[in-house]
């Protein structure tokens, strides 16, 4: 399956000259060498990958804990309908936010490549243009359209009346005030791609701590502050992300980080860079839409089951929260693989790129195996933490966790190889892989079984597993084809 190559061939300028032919790496004395961590392209590779991976993994685990605490509070105070409401809302939210975040994939490709080539001016210009583009889309497009379309989006997942009543205010709050979360993702993506994974870790932990503090108060109430229930979870998220993002913008303006806003180069939109962001990022956006539309349609199959509310609640907790401990860890490795791959390719060391992705995959497999063992051995105990003690809900959730204990191994490898592809600029390959593995395969299995007879929850869970196996196999094959070696990244100013 040849998804094609994503190349940029606009006329170069001195700040963004065309990549030279492969040769020896640039000297460490080049401009910007002291600004960027050259150990990513010159030092021991295993430590270079781990240097980026462990802060990202820790950040994502803390972020996953925030979602878990939301579900624990809502499940115990509102009931499993609240869990279902957050689950279906987040599935819809992800469809939108992942497309918006595709800009940051394009940004990360450019930042990593130009950081590897020691070009700090172009790195800073790219970061600023990504910021103004994302902020404009969030405020002018996402907020108004999200508020109006939220009820219609909930209709797509067949949420029953009780779940819908809890989900609508949650989804509208997340849509209206998305700008803080988008800026946070922009900040962390830019820093990590430039080689600084510790600052995103600090920002991510701060966001999680603030989020938990606000949610404990807003979900259950405290003193004169009323209990907002499910809506309080959304309120805590947008307030916390707004505060952290505001601090990040202050630091970008005043400098001191590995990336910053450019000074003296003008602050108007640079359409050449913005086109570059979309050109590399849009395939990832469509990939995210395909995957999450697939998730929404999967929820519609879950909604057609005899005990749909129980199954949706089990899916929201088992897949959306507990499984996120695997996927968020793997996503941290994916980000590390992408950053090292982009920088090593920018430094003209493609063989080092290959080795970095292999190392990230091995680390991910170890973590997925440990977490998968817990899913397999103590599923009911894990679900009870979320207040899911109803036998109907707990049994379905435990069944899903046992399937996910195997599925996590495959999705971890798939994500690390996806990071390698995206970091080098091959963002179209993962798009086609995701359409096949996350949409056509699992939904096709569910549709065929539903048409042939009665669809059961276990059929849907096994369809998810088959999709993850397919994604893993296709991602490894695509990376080993090596088309990413010839991708050229240029921008014109």
**Predicted pLDDT of residue 22:** 41
Answer whether residue 462 is part of any domain. Answer: yes
Q: Is the pLDDT of residue 281 over 60?
A: yes
Mean confidence (pLDDT) of the chain: 82
Answer whether residue 13 is part of any domain. Answer: no
Q: Is the pLDDT of residue 1 over 60?
A: no
Q: Is the pLDDT of residue 29 over 80?
A: no
Pure H helices in 255-270 = none
Answer whether residue 257 is part of any domain. Answer: yes
Answer whether residue 247 is part of any domain. Answer: yes
Beta bridge partners of 222: 225
Give the residue-averaged pLDDT of 427-450.
Answer: 91
Answer whether residue 220 is part of any domain. Answer: yes
Separation of first and last alpha carbons in the chain: 35
- In this structure, of 100-104, 157-161, 303-307, 436-440, the range with the lowest mean pLDDT score is 157-161
**Predicted pLDDT of residue 93:** 78
Answer whether residue 14 is part of any domain. Answer: no
Answer whether residue 161 is part of any domain. Answer: yes
Q: List, for residues 165-177, the tens digit of each pLDDT value.
A: 888 888 899 889 9
Residue 295, both tokens: 């998730």
Give the residue-averaged pLDDT of 381-387.
Answer: 85
- In this structure, of 17-26, 49-58, 205-214, the range with the lowest mean pLDDT score is 17-26
Nearest to 149 by CA among 168, 131, 164, 125: 168
**Predicted pLDDT of residue 216:** 84
The domain total for the chain is: 1
Give the residue-averaged pLDDT of 111-138.
Answer: 88
**Predicted pLDDT of residue 233:** 85
Look up the pTM and report it. 0.70
Cα–Cα distance, 225 to 337 (Å, whole number): 44
Answer whether residue 106 is part of any domain. Answer: yes
The more confident residue out of 115 and 408 is 408
Segments forming the whole domain that contains residue 376: 43-486
Strand residues in 235-287 grouped as ranges (E): none
Give the residue-averaged pLDDT of 381-392.
Answer: 83
Report the percentage of the chain scoring pLDDT > 90.
26
Give the residue-averaged pLDDT of 101-109.
Answer: 82
């Amino acid at each position: 399956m040849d998804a094609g190559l994503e190349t940029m061939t606009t006329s170069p300028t001195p700040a963004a000259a065309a990549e030279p032919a492969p040769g020896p790496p640039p000297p460490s004395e080049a401009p910007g060498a002291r600004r960027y961590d050259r150990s990513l392209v010159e030092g021991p590779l295993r430590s270079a990958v781990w240097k980026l991976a462990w802060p990202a993994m820790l950040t994502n685990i803390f972020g996953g804990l925030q979602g878990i605490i939301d579900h624990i509070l809502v499940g115990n105070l509102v009931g499993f309908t609240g869990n279902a409401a957050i689950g279906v809302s987040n599935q819809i939210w992800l469809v939108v936010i992942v497309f918006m975040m595709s800009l940051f994939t394009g940004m990360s490709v450019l930042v990593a490549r130009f950081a590897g080539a020691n070009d700090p001016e172009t790195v800073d210009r790219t970061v600023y243009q990504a910021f103004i583009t994302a902020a404009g889309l969030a405020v002018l497009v996402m907020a108004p359209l999200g508020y109006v379309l939220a009820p219609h989006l909930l209709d797509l997942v067949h949420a029953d009346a009780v779940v819908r009543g809890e989900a609508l205010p949650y989804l509208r709050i997340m849509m209206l005030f998305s700008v803080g979360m988008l800026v946070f993702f922009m900040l962390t993506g830019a820093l990590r791609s430039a080689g600084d994974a510790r600052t995103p870790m600090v920002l991510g932990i701060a966001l999680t701590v603030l989020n938990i503090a606000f949610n404990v108060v807003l979900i259950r109430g405290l003193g004169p502050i009323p209990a907002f229930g499910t809506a309080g979870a959304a309120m805590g998220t947008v307030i916390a992300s707004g505060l952290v993002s505001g601090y990040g913008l202050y630091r970008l303006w005043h400098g001191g980080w590995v990336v910053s806003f450019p000074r003296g180069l003008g602050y108007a939109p640079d359409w050449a860079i913005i086109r570059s962001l979309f050109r590399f990022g849009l395939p990832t956006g469509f990939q995210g839409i395909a995957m999450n539309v697939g998730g929404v349609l999967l929820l519609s199959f879950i909604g057609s089951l005899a005990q749909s509310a129980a199954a949706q609640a089990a899916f929201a907790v088992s897949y959306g929260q507990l499984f996120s401990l695997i996927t968020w860890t793997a996503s941290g490795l994916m980000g590390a693989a992408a950053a090292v791959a982009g920088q090593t390719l920018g430094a003209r060391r493609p063989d080092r790129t290959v080795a970095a992705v292999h190392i990230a995959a091995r680390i991910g497999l170890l973590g997925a195996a440990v977490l998968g063992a817990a899913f397999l051995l103590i599923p009911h105990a894990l679900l009870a933490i979320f207040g899911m003690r109803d036998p109907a809900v707990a049994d379905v959730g435990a069944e899903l966790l046992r399937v996910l204990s195997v599925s996590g191994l495959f999705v971890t490898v798939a994500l690390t190889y996806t990071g390698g592809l995206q970091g080098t600029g091959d963002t179209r390959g993962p798009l086609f892989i995701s359409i096949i593995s996350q949409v056509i395969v699992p939904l096709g299995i569910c549709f065929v079984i539903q048409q042939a007879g009665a669809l059961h929850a276990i059929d849907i869970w096994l369809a998810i597993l088959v999709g993850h196996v397919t994604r893993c196999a296709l991602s490894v094959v695509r990376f080993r084809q090596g088309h990413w070696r010839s991708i050229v990244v240029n921008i014109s100013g």
